[in-house]
Every structure is written in C-alpha cells, then in structure tokens.
Amino acid sequence: MKRPTIADVARAAQVSPASVSRFLNGVEGNLAPATADRIARVIQDLGYRPNAWARSLKTQRSGLVAAVVADLSNAYVPAVLEGVETTINKAGLSLLVGNARNDPRQEDRLIERLIDQRVEGLLLQPCSIHVSPVLASVLEQQIPVVLLDRILEGAESPLNLVALDNAAALQQANDHLLGQGYRQLLYVTEPTREASSRREREAAVIENRKRWYAAEIFTYRDKRSTSLVRKIMQMRSTAIEEPLAILCSNSKTALFVVRSLSEAGVQVPQDIGLMTIDDPEWAAYVFGGITAIGQPTVELGRQGAQSLLAQMSRGTEVRPRQVRLGGILKARQSTSR
Amino acid sequence: MKRPTIADVARAAQVSPASVSRFLNGVEGNLAPATADRIARVIQDLGYRPNAWARSLKTQRSGLVAAVVADLSNAYVPAVLEGVETTINKAGLSLLVGNARNDPRQEDRLIERLIDQRVEGLLLQPCSIHVSPVLASVLEQQIPVVLLDRILEGAESPLNLVALDNAAALQQANDHLLGQGYRQLLYVTEPTREASSRREREAAVIENRKRWYAAEIFTYRDKRSTSLVRKIMQMRSTAIEEPLAILCSNSKTALFVVRSLSEAGVQVPQDIGLMTIDDPEWAAYVFGGITAIGQPTVELGRQGAQSLLAQMSRGTEVRPRQVRLGGILKARQSTSR
DNA sequence: TTGAAAGCGCTAACAG
DNA sequence: CTGTTAGCGCTTTCAA
C-alpha cells in the first residue's frame, strides 16, 4: 500500500501532473473550476498528501527549522522553546529540537546533523562561548542563525541575538537588595566560563561591588553544599553583623542554594536574604516567597523565532539585530527585613 | 555559492557519481583504496555533505522522528522529551517536536504536518482520549506510533505505550496517607475527561474510597482558589475532626494547591496533610518538603523512544507492548503527623 | 572495481 | 487554461 503520488492523482483526475501541482500550490494561472473540483475530489478520495522530499528537492526549501539548546533540564529552556515552537508553527514550519547537554561536541554533532537535514534556519543557545568550526561553516553557508540567551565571541560579524538584558537585571537586583538594607552580598553562580549570560551577570556584580560593605562571588561546581554553607557562616561572622543577602545567578543555582540552606537550617529571611535571577514557578512558595527577577521566557523564544523568520525571508543580508529584553522584579518575603 | 553535489565531487575526483555514492554508503563491492582516498580528499576539500532530500526520495527514509506533546509548559513533559531526544539522537535520527497546547485540533494539525515531512515514527502524548481521524490514517499507513503517558480508546488494536502505573501509584499514595493516620482524603485534579492518566488516577481514588472515613474529589477548572479553600474548610469541620490530607493528581495541580493553601494561610502539615503524584524539583522545599510519588520521567521517554525504534526496524507487525513504570514514594514533612 | 542510466515525486518553464 | 518536458541530487540495478 504505497502512498499515492501526484501522477496517480493526475491519472485518476484525467489531467496532467502539472495541473495537480498547480492546484496544490494555488498558482496564478488559475484552473478551471471544474478541473479544480475534479482534482480536489480525487485527492480527497485517494488521501493524497504531497511528498515533502520531492518538493524540497525542487524548491530548495525544507520547511524545517532547528533549535539547539544547551540544557533541556533547566526549566528556563522549555519555556523559551514554547515561544519558539508556537511561532515556527504559525509560520507553517516544523521545529527540530536538539539538546546539547552542555557538551560542545554534542552541540556540534547536532548542528551538523540538522544542517544535513537542510533546515532553513537555526536557533541556538550555545553551550560554549566561541564559534566552533561547525557553526562557522553554517554561517559561511549563509544559513540564518539566531542566538538565544547567550552571545558568541569571535564571529566575523555579530550574530542576531535575543537575550535578557543581564546588566540591567543585575542592576535592579543590586538596587533592590541595597534598598532593603542589605550590606553584604554573596553572589552564587555556576562556572561562568562557557555561558555569556553568566559572564555578563558576574561582570555586573563586580561592577556593583563598591556599593557593598562586602560583595563576594561563590562558584559552585558540585552538588555538595558544605563549602557554600561555610562561606555563608564566614560572612555572617563579621564584627558589626552587616545584613547578608544571597543572589543566585539563575533558577538552577537557586535550587542548589535552597537545598543548601534547608539542609543547614538557615532561616530565610531571618538569618539571611535570598534573591534569584529567573523566576521559576516555585519561587513564590519556598521560604514564604523568594524575591526574583523574572525573565520573559516565552516572549524571548517568540522574538528569537521571529528574528529567524525575518532573516529567512529577507536574506542574511539584513543587519544583525541584538534584542535585549528587560527582567521583571518580583519582590517577595525572602528579602524583607 | 551553491553547495556541492555528488556530481561535483565525482568530477573533481575523476570518478562516476555512483562511486562517490558507494564511498558514502560504505557499500559491499569495495572501492579501490586509491579511488576511495581520492574521493575522501575531494569531499574534504569541497566540504561536501550529502543532500538528505535526494537521499530520502530514493531510499524512502527521512531520518526524522516526531514527538507531539500535550503541553510543554508542564515540567513533566520536557523531562520526558529529554529521554526521547537522547535516545533518538543516539540512533542517528533527528527529533521534531510539536506542542499541541492541550488542543486536539492543534494536535491534528501538527501530526498532519509532521507526517507530511515523512517522519519515520511518532511519539504521542495525546491531549484527547480517542483516536482522531488524522491519527487513524497515520496508523493505517503503518507508520510506527508509540503513546507516552496516556492511552487512547477506540484504536483497532492497542497501541504501544509507555506510561506510569497509575493504579499502583495511587495505591501507594493511599497506603502512605492512611499509614500516616489520615482519615479523610481530598483528591484534587484537573478535569479528567481528556487525559487517560487522569482518568486512571481518579478511578483508583474511587476504588480506594471505602478505606477512608471520607474521600472526595475536587476538580479545578480555573486559577481561583476560593472554592477549593471552601471545600477544605467544610471537610475540616467534621464533628470528630478526622485528620485530612490533600492528594494532588500531578505537579501542576500541586502548584495550584500550594498557591491556594499559601493564600489561605493553611498550615502544612499542622492543619492538613499534602501529597502529590509527580515529584517536581521544588517539592522537597515547599512546606518543609511535600511528599510525592516521583515518576521516572527521563526513563519513560527513553523507553518510549526505544519502543518506537524497535517498531521502526522490525516493522509494525510486532505485537504491541504496554509498558507500565512504577512510581517512587518520597515521604516528606507534609504528611508527617 | 567501476560507469551508464533510470527514476524516486515534485515543480516550473515553455508551449500550445 | 492545460500539457510536455526537463531536471532537483541521490541510489541502484545492470553491464562492462
């Protein structure tokens, strides 16, 4: 039971394949209503569906767009993908998804495979900070690319980007915490080497350093919480008990900190203030509510996809657009003194 | 700057396209080492990559697999997709993702589009309970399908499935709560009409009904928490104050309940017990820890994908496999009296 | 071990 | 308004 081809339809409807094709594509030189009807009926009867491969081969369009993300297990990512998927589908295209699992080699492999599938565009949340040879060749082939969430260094020309305005978000966070009367800051982050967003956030923390009595950065590499707790104890033991707040670089970090504090029995906000960049669904319910800077995740995906679609239709020639979206401060219990 | 074709390679290497094709596919009738080397070099130089469309047209294989999910915004779903994606990629295939947003019409549209892309298999978490005409035609075409998380009624033969053993999970939950001394149960669920998993869970609750002093079911349809709170108050006002526990049908429900309880100032576990099916990352940190039945989400995706791959290679003829995975009880503060 | 040639299913000139 | 024809880039007999 092979699927019917355009030729089968043509034969059954007593017309040429060309006419069927015209019908399918709603082409200019309109068909006689009678012919069209006949074709329509046959298509219906046979359950004919055009073969995307053959069409692609001819038209050089696949109807496929790819999204390669750094880590699907970070809730931020599926939220962004939601915006991407919706937009891509509205445009009549289909979305291929690749999860690099924070491994640049895996990322390369995925990109290569997806390009081989002849995707018409690539949305990328890179898990490395520089342009890999594979990505370079993608760019060279003029395949539209839009970066999500993270920038890339060493591209010949800056790539299209949609991301959080990290500098502004951290400014907001610092303002809020200082405004609440905190005088010491402990910024907790995952290693910052490979993700530009983390770098930008950390840079902003450093920039705001002088505003604090003390501001330190804690980078966590494993799940163990002991050294973080030790760090906290150390900062809290200042002679003049300056109030201390923890700021988390993202929701994954926040989860780690929440776990650490819970295990150590540290009270929030009594003993310590807590705030995070990124506002996961649970933030409002832990410790009576954790103050957060929410990201417009779905919107970010939407805009990324739109930017890609624009490039796909207008060509890669358009000058690159760097969109920076603002975060939204949600003040909650965890930073109220 | 068009991409080089097999003909370009053939010309540059002074061989026939057929030989290049042989080289590419590592075919039996081995090439002379010298020829192979020459071809290899040219491919390298030209940066040649085979055209998937042309290959598909000829081989009738696309290298594409699709996953259509009910709702990407439920954290359970991306977790399952993670397992799916990994497995599919390991098999050298690419994954197309569609998000039906709980809309059966959208689901149909997605399936149709993906089938038009000639995917070789479909993983489906249906957002309806019965086989739509579109899906029926997919099955009729012998395209391998595996259901994730939810079953479908009215299929001619039962479809392959990987899902939680809902009956067992709810048995476990009931046992645990009764063991903790609770005597009244309030089961909170989203509307159960369209998702078989919800139906199964609700059915299990009903089955366990006699074990309770009172067991009621609360279906929430909107975000407003007032009627839930009223219900709770009503159940708590029994003459002989039988201890009450809430059981949530999944993590989305749990989030709703947590919000409602927080807003109403109900204390957990002092005033009421709380438990949920599905163990989201935040469960351990809200109300000092919410007791949950964890689902093997990633594993579920992995097994679903494997089941699909099996069907794809051995043909749809294989007898359908219904895999039911067990949940894992995580006892926490919220149900300790 | 290699090449020639046919064709997968479709579209897009070009005629008519 | 409609049909004929020539490929899109690849694989795969069949011959050499």
Identify the pLDDT of residue B239: 66
pLDDT band at B314 (very low <50, low <70, confident <90, very high): confident
Instruction: State yes or no: pLDDT of A316 exceeds 70.
Output: no
Give me the residues paired with residue B170 across strands. Answer: none
Kind of pairing between the strands at B145-148 and B184-189: unpaired
- Give the mean model confidence (pLDDT) for residues A63-90: 97
- Give the mean model confidence (pLDDT) for residues B77-81: 98
pLDDT tens, position by position, B198-231: 999 999 999 999 999 999 999 999 888 889 999 9
Q: Are A300 and A163 spatial neighbours (Cβ–Cβ below 8 Å)? A: yes
Burial class (CB in 10 A: 0-12, 13-18, 19+), A87: buried
The strand ranges marked E within chain A are 64-69, 94-99, 121-124, 145-148, 160-164, 184-189, 214-219, 244-248, 273-277, 291-294, 322-325, 328-330
Q: Which residues of B285-295 are buried (b: 16+ CB within 10 A; e: fewer)?
A: bbbebbbbbbb
Alpha-helix runs per DSSP H in B146-284 = 166-179, 196-207, 226-236, 251-264
How many Å apart are CA B319 and CA A34, to the nearest integer?
47
Instruction: State yes or no: pLDDT of A60 exceeds 60.
Output: yes
Identify the pLDDT of residue A305: 98
Tell me if residue B322 falls in helix, strand or coil.
Answer: strand
- Give the mean model confidence (pLDDT) for residues A275-290: 96
pLDDT tens, position by position, A83-109: 999 999 999 999 999 999 999 999 999
Instruction: State yes or no: pLDDT of B317 exceeds 70.
Output: no
The partner residue sitting opposite B53, judged by closest CB among A56, A94, A110, is A56
Q: Which residues of B touch A114 (CB under 8 A)?
A: 94
Nearest residue, CA→C1' of D2: A19
| Element (DSSP H or E) covering residue B65 | strand B64-69
Identify the pLDDT of residue A256: 95
pLDDT tens, position by position, B18-30: 899 999 888 656 7
- Give the mean model confidence (pLDDT) for residues B37-66: 92
Q: Which residue of A has its CA nearest to B60?
A: A53
Q: Which residue of A has its CA nearest to B71?
A: A82
Cβ A86–B94 below 8 Å, yes or no? no
Identify the pLDDT of residue A1: 59
- To the nearest 10°, report the CA torsion of A13, A18, A20, A26: -150
CA of A49: how far to CAs of A119, B117, B137, B153, in Å?
21, 10, 12, 26
Cβ A285–B286 below 8 Å, yes or no? yes
Contacts of B155 (CB under 8 A, 6+ apart): B131, B139
Residue B19: nearest nucleotide (C-alpha to C1'): C2
3-state secondary structure A221-235: CCCCCHHHHHHHHHH
Q: Which residue of A has its CA nearest to B134?
A: A47
CA of B46: how far to CAs of B23, B88, B125, in Å?
15, 30, 43
Give me the residues paired with residue B215 across strands. Answer: B185
**Among A22-31, A35-44, B98-107, the least confident range:** A22-31
Identify the pLDDT of residue A331: 98
Tell how far CA B225 is from the center of its chain: 28
Q: Which residues of B touch A99 (CB under 8 A)?
A: 82, 85-86, 89
Cβ B282–A281 below 8 Å, yes or no? yes
Q: Whole-number Å distance, CA B28 to C1' D12? A: 13
Tell me if residue A124 falls in helix, strand or coil.
Answer: strand
Report the largest interatomic distance among the alpha carbons of chain A, rounded to a whole angstrom: 94
> What is the side-by-side order of every strand in the sheet holding B291-294?
B214-219, B184-189, B244-248, B273-277, B291-294, B328-330
- Give the mean model confidence (pLDDT) for residues A269-297: 96
How many Å apart are CA B119 and CA B60, to the nearest integer?
10
Kind of pairing between the strands at B273-277 and B184-189: unpaired
pLDDT tens, position by position, B115-165: 999 999 999 999 999 999 999 999 988 899 999 999 999 877 889 999 999
Instruction: State yes or no: pLDDT of A188 exceeds 90.
Output: yes
Q: Which residues of B touch A75 (CB under 8 A)?
A: 75, 78, 281
> What is the side-by-side order of every strand in the sheet holding B64-69?
A322-325, A160-164, A145-148, A121-124, A64-69, A94-99, B94-99, B64-69, B121-124, B145-148, B160-164, B322-325
- Give the mean model confidence (pLDDT) for residues A273-287: 96
Burial class (CB in 10 A: 0-12, 13-18, 19+), B182: buried
Tell me if residue B184 falls in helix, strand or coil.
Answer: strand
How many Å apart are CA A84 and CA A239, to the nearest integer?
51
Tell how far CA A174 is from the center of its chain: 25
pLDDT tens, position by position, B239-273: 678 999 999 999 999 999 999 999 999 999 999 99
Q: Whole-number Å distance, CA B143 to C1' C11? A: 27
- Give the mean model confidence (pLDDT) for residues A299-317: 90
All protein residues with a CB under 7 A from any atom of strand D: A 14-19, 22, 29-32, 34-36, 54, 57-58; B 2, 5-7, 17-18, 20-22, 24-25, 27, 50-51, 54-55, 57-59
Q: Are A69 and A126 spatial neighbours (Cβ–Cβ below 8 Å)? A: no
Identify the pLDDT of residue A89: 96
pLDDT band at A193 (very low <50, low <70, confident <90, very high): confident
pLDDT band at A170 (very low <50, low <70, confident <90, very high): very high
Identify the pLDDT of residue A50: 92
Residue B57: nearest nucleotide (C-alpha to C1'): C8
Residue B8: nearest nucleotide (C-alpha to C1'): D9
Instruction: State yes or no: pLDDT of A181 exceeds 70.
Output: yes
How many Å apart are CA A331 and CA A59, to the nearest integer?
53
| Element (DSSP H or E) covering residue B310 | helix B297-314
- Give the mean model confidence (pLDDT) for residues A283-289: 94
Instruction: State yes or no: pLDDT of B191 exceeds 70.
Output: yes
Closest CA to A74 of A192, A251, A200, A197: A251
Residue B255 has which token pair?
A: 């989030």
Nearest residue, CA→C1' of D5: A18
Mean pLDDT taken over chain B: 93
Closest CA to A146 of A68, A63, A61, A64: A68
Cβ B285–A95 below 8 Å, yes or no? no
Q: Are A163 and A307 spatial neighbours (Cβ–Cβ below 8 Å)? A: no
Q: Which residues of B touch A117 (CB under 8 A)?
A: 52, 63-64, 94
Identify the pLDDT of residue A28: 56
